[in-house]
Chain A
Amino acid sequence: MAQQLLQAFQTPQPGQSPADGRRRQTLRCGLSFVLLSALLAVLFVWNVNSGSVNLTVHEIFRILTRRGGDETAVNIIWQIRLPRILAAVILGGALSVSGFLLQTFFHNPIAGPFVLGISSGAKLVVALSMIFLLGRGITAGSAVMVLSAFFGSMISMGFVLAVSRKVRQMSMLVICGVMISYICSAVTDFVVTFADDSNIVNLHNWSLGSFSGTTWSNVGVMTVIVFSAVLLTFLLSKPIGAYQLGEDYARNLGVNVRVFRVCLILLSSVLSACVTAFAGPVSFVGIAVPHLVKNLWKTSKPIVVVPACFLGGAVFCLFCDLIARTVFAPTELSISSVTAVFGAPVVIFIMIRRKKTA
C-alpha cells in the first residue's frame, strides 16, 4: 500500500498500460486533495490558537463547539480570529482561482490580478469612493466596497485588454500591467495623503493589504460572491480545457469564444475585486498557487485544477496570514509582504523554466 502511494508521485514509466497510468493519476489526485485538506485543518487550528491570548487546544475545541469557556476568549475567537481565518481561506481561494482564469485567458503562466494591475485599479477606485463617502460622513458598506473594486478592476482590465490587442508578446503585457499598477498606486497614495479624515489610518492599512478587521457580515458577503463565482468557474471547466489548446481549436470544438472570453474576464474580475475590497491588494498568490497546484496534481485539467486552486490558495493565505500575525507580534506585517516572500520566487522559477523550454 505504502509503495503504491509512493508510486503515485513518481514519474510514469513508458511501458505502463493506459489503465495503470490513469489509476496512478487518480490516486495522485485524491492524495493531493487529502494532503492539502489536512494541511488546511492543521493551519486552521494553529491560526485559532496563535495570538496574544494563549489557549489550550481543549479550550479552543470547547469554544468552537459553543460549550462555554472564558468570555474574553470566546469573543477573541468568535469575533476576531474566526472571521479573519475564514477571510484568509475564502479570499485566498478566490485570488488563486482568479489568477488561474487570467492565465487561461492570456495563455500566460505569469498573468495574475496583481501583476496585471487589476488589483491596483480596484484599490484606487475603492480608495476614491471611501474618501468620497467618508467626506460626507457615510461609512462605506461591503456592497459599495465590492462594487467599486469591481469597477476599478474592469477599468484596469480594459487597459490591459487594449494593450494585449496591440502587443502579442506576453512579457510586454506583464510590464504594461506593472506600469498600470504603479500609476494606480501612485494616485492612491496621493489621494490618501491629502485626504483629511481620521479614518485615513484605516485606509492606509487597508491599501497595504491585510485580513484583519474582518467582520461576520463581511464574511457573509464574500462567501456568497466567491462561492458563486468559483462554482460558475467550475462549471466552465469544459470550455476552459478546450481553450487551453488555443482559441482556434476551441472555436472548432464548438466553444463560443467571444462569450467564453467575456465570462473569463468577468469571473476573474469579480473574484479579485472581492479580495481587494475586503483585504486590499494581495500579491503573487494568483500566480504562485495555480503553478504549485498544477505541479502537485501533475495536471492542468480545469475540472481538477479549479477546486485544487481554491484549496491551495486557502492554505497559502492562511499560512501567510499566520506568519504576518505572529512573526513580529504584536506588530503585524502586511499580508502582501508575506505572500511576496513566498510567491515571488515561484514566479521567478516559472520564468526561468519557461526560458529554458521555449
Chain B
Amino acid sequence: MNSMAKEFFFYTEEMTVGYDGKPLIRDIRIELDRGEILTLIGPNGAGKSTILKSVTRQLKLIGGCVYLDGRQMQQMTGREIARRQAVVLTERIRPELMTCEDVVATGRYPYTGSLGILGREDRVKVRAALQTVHAADLAERDFNAVSDGQRQRILLARAICQEPELIVLDEPTSFLDVKHKLEFLQILKQMVRERHVAVIMSLHELDLAQKISDRLFCVKGGHIDRHGTPEEIFTSDYICGLYDLPVGAWNAAFGCVELPAVRRRPEVFVIAGNGSGIPVYRRLQREGIPFVTGVLQENDVDYPAARDLAAEVVAERAFEPIGEEAYALALSKMRQCRRVLCPLQTFGAMNRRNEELLREAGRAGILVKVSPGRKYMHEQAGGG
C-alpha cells in the first residue's frame, strides 16, 4: 500500500461493508485528517448509513481495515475506541426519567470507574459540554420533553463530553427546522475548529453539505461514485447525475434545487439583470409560463437562474456592454412574445441596450407592469 495514506488521522483500507456477510459497497477508501469534516451524500438507500455503521462498529466489516491514529480499530478495546470516537445516531431514543444532563453524562462512561459514578471533574465536563451547545438551561429538563432541535444538541453535547477525536453523525439535521439545522452545524464547525476533532457524517441537505464539508463522499447504487472537495463535487451536472435529477435541477452557484424549466415556445420576455430577474423567473416557472430573458451578461447574478429556468436566454459575454448582435437577437425574440416584463429598475453603461428594449416594448404596447401580488397569467388575460 502507499505510504502517503498513513499520514491521515483516520483512513480505511479496502473497506467492504454490508449486512449479514453480503457485501454492499466494496473497497471504500476514506481519508480524513483532524479538524476536517467529511460528508457522505447520495440518494436514499445508497449505503451511507451502512458505511457509518461499519465505521462505528455497529456492523462487522466484511473486508478491509479501518485505521484511527495509525492503529487498526479492530484491534482496539471497546473502552479505547469509546475514548476516541463518539456517535450521534438517527434512531430516536426515549430514555425513562432521564434529564438532559443525565443523557449528556452518559458520555463520561469510558472515563468513570466500575460503578459509573461521576466525579467532580466529570460533572464539570458535562456542564461545559452543555454550555458548548448552548443548552445549559436544559440541564434539569426531562430529555423526552425537549424539542427535536434541543434533543440533537443534547446528543451532540453527549458526544462532546466523551472527548472524542472523531465524531460520527448519521443524518444529524434530518428532523430539524432551518434555524436549528444552522445552529447545529455551526456548533459542530466550532468544535472542529477549536478542538481539532475529525467529523464523518451523512447529510441530506446538499446546500448545507456544500458549505460545511471539507471533503465529500458520494455514494450511489452500491459504490463510491466520486470523492473530493465541495468545489469538485458540487457542479450542476454531477449532482444532477448523482441523484438522477433532470439537467438543471440543481443550481451549483446558489446551492439549491430548481424545478424544471418550462420548455415551450416562449410567451413572455423578461428584461432583467442585477438579481431583479430571479423572483420573476421563479414565478413564471410556478405558473407554467415559458419565457425568454435577456440581455444578461454571463457574470450577472440572474444568469445562472435564467439558464435553469428560462426556455431561452439571450446572453452577452461577461464584463462586456450589450453588443449589437445580442440586442438584435433579443429584439427579435421579444417581438415573438405576447408580453414583456421588466423588473429591472436601473440602467447603466453596460446595459444601456436593455433600456432601448424596454422603450421598444412600450412602443409595441406589450409591456406589463410587474406586481408581486398578482398572477402574471391574470394580467395577461386582462390585458388581452
Verify B110–A254 contact, CB threshold 8 A: yes
Q: What residues on B are CB-neighbors of A256 within 8 Å?
A: 78
Verify A248–B87 contact, CB threshold 8 A: yes
Q: Assess whether A242 is interfacial by the CB under 8 Å rule.
A: yes
Verify B89–A249 contact, CB threshold 8 A: yes
Stretch at the interface among A11-19, A31-39, A220-228, A273-281: A11-19
Among residues of B, the one whose C-beta sits closest to the C-beta of A302 is B116
Q: A244-B95, A300-B97, A300-B98 are in contact. Are A254 and B77 (CB under 8 A)?
A: yes
A1-28: which have CB < 8 Å to B?
A: 12, 14, 16, 18, 21
Q: A12-B140, A245-B106 are in contact. Are A299 and B115 (CB under 8 A)?
A: no
Verify B110–A245 contact, CB threshold 8 A: no
Q: Assess whether A331 is interfacial by the CB under 8 Å rule.
A: no
Verify A242–B109 contact, CB threshold 8 A: yes
Q: What residues on A are CB-neighbors of B101 within 8 Å?
A: 18
A300 CB → nearest B CB, Å: 4
Q: Assess whether B112 is interfacial by the CB under 8 Å rule.
A: yes
Q: What residues on A are CB-neighbors of B97 within 8 Å?
A: 294-295, 298-300
Q: Assess whether A164 is interfacial by the CB under 8 Å rule.
A: no
B57 CB → nearest A CB, Å: 7
- Compute how far the CA of A339 lies from the CA of B116 in the bound complex, rounded to whole angstroms: 34
Question: A-facing mask of B236-257, CB < 8 A → 1, else 0?
Answer: 0000000000000000000000
Verify A254–B116 contact, CB threshold 8 A: no
- Compute how far the CA of A237 lies from the CA of B109 in the bound complex, rounded to whole angstroms: 12
Q: What residues on B are CB-neighbors of A241 within 8 Å?
A: 106, 109, 116
Verify B82–A300 contact, CB threshold 8 A: no
Among residues of A, the one whose C-beta sits closest to the C-beta of B136 is A18
Verify A357–B77 contact, CB threshold 8 A: no
Q: What residues on B are CB-neighbors of A294 within 8 Å?
A: 96-97
Verify B86–A238 contact, CB threshold 8 A: no
A239 CB → nearest B CB, Å: 8
Q: A251-B58, A253-B110 are in contact. Are A238 and B116 (CB under 8 A)?
A: yes
Verify A253–B82 contact, CB threshold 8 A: yes
Among residues of A, the one whose C-beta sits closest to the C-beta of B85 is A252
Q: What residues on B are CB-neighbors of A235 within 8 Å?
A: 114-115
Q: What residues on B are CB-neighbors of A69 within 8 Å?
A: none
Q: A248-B87, A254-B81, A256-B78 are in contact. Are A238 and B114 (CB under 8 A)?
A: yes
Q: What residues on A are CB-neighbors of B82 within 8 Å?
A: 252-254
- Compute how far the CA of A248 lies from the CA of B98 in the bound complex, rounded to whole angstroms: 18
Q: Assess whether A261 is interfacial by the CB under 8 Å rule.
A: no
Verify B117–A303 contact, CB threshold 8 A: yes
A355 CB → nearest B CB, Å: 13
- Compute how far the CA of A295 lies from the CA of B142 in the bound complex, rounded to whole angstroms: 13
Question: A-facing mask of B95-132, CB < 8 A → 1, else 0?
Answer: 11110011100110110101111000001000100000
- Compute how far the CA of A245 lies from the CA of B91 in the bound complex, rounded to whole angstroms: 10
Question: B-facing mask of A286-312, CB < 8 A → 1, else 0?
Answer: 000000001100111101000000000
A260 CB → nearest B CB, Å: 11
Show 25 A/B contacts (Cβ-Cβ < 8 Å), sorted by A: A12-B140, A18-B123, A18-B140, A109-B96, A235-B115, A237-B115, A241-B116, A242-B106, A242-B109, A244-B95, A244-B96, A244-B98, A245-B93, A248-B87, A248-B91, A252-B57, A253-B106, A253-B162, A254-B78, A254-B80, A254-B82, A255-B78, A295-B97, A299-B97, A300-B97
Q: Which 9 residue pairs across A and B have the least CB separation, nearest first?
A: A238-B116, A254-B78, A254-B82, A253-B109, A254-B79, A300-B97, A252-B87, A300-B96, A246-B93
